[in-house]
Amino acid sequence: MRQSILATLLLALSLSAQAGALLLNDLKAQNGIQLSVDELKQLMPGAQVINRTEAGNTRRWTNEAGGQFVATSDNRATNNFATTAQGTWHVADNGTYCVTLEWRTLSENWCRYIFKLGAKYYGVSSLSSGTAKAYEFEFSK
């Protein structure tokens, strides 16, 4: 009886940890592979992108060949009213995927190092801090 309770508790703790945000250290510990500049330049043009924010919003866009896109967000974390933004993207020489978004009330400008872990992709803002948060992405063509 005690063993089954302990096993259940350990499983619950493991699932709880998995539900939390991944960090760069987690990606490395799970053998996540950082994409190179050349791999990013192959993957990104024409890619359909789905990005999930820490707040829980799902955003979608398609990387146009000219470096522009129009993004949509479901805004489920705030008001559930979908919104759109003009955006640009590029792959920087340092191996980051860079995005600028101009929402109605907010501007975003960020670059992420992209890692592949299993079938998912994650972006981190820094390689020097193992505690950098990993943001989930989907890329498809």
pLDDT given at position 80: 80
- CA 88 – CA 63 distance, rounded (Å): 8
Phi/psi at 82 (nearest 5 deg)? -60, 150
- CA 33 – CA 53 distance, rounded (Å): 21
Phi/psi at 94 (nearest 5 deg)? -85, 5
- For the domain bounded by 21-140, which CATH number is listed? 2.40.128
Which tokens hold the place of 106?
Answer: 């907010």
pLDDT given at position 83: 94
Higher pLDDT: 19 or 113? It is 113
Q: Are 45 and 65 in contact (CB under 8 A)?
A: yes
Q: What's the rounded mean pLDDT across residues 57-83?
A: 93
User: Does 10 have pLDDT greater than 70?
Assistant: no
DSSP the chain: -HHHHHHHHHHHHHHHHHHSPPBHHHHHHTT-EEPPHHHHHHHSTT-EEEEE-TTS-EEEEE--TTSEEEEEE--TTTT---EEEEEEEEE-TTSEEEEEEE-SS-EEEEEEEEEEETTEEEEES-SS-TT-B-EEEEEE-
- Residues found in the chain: 141
Domain boundaries, the chain: 21-140
Give 75-134 pLDDT, tens digit per residue: 988 888 899 999 999 999 999 999 999 999 899 999 999 999 999 999 999 999 999 999
- CA 89 – CA 83 distance, rounded (Å): 19
User: Does 16 have pLDDT greater than 90?
Assistant: no
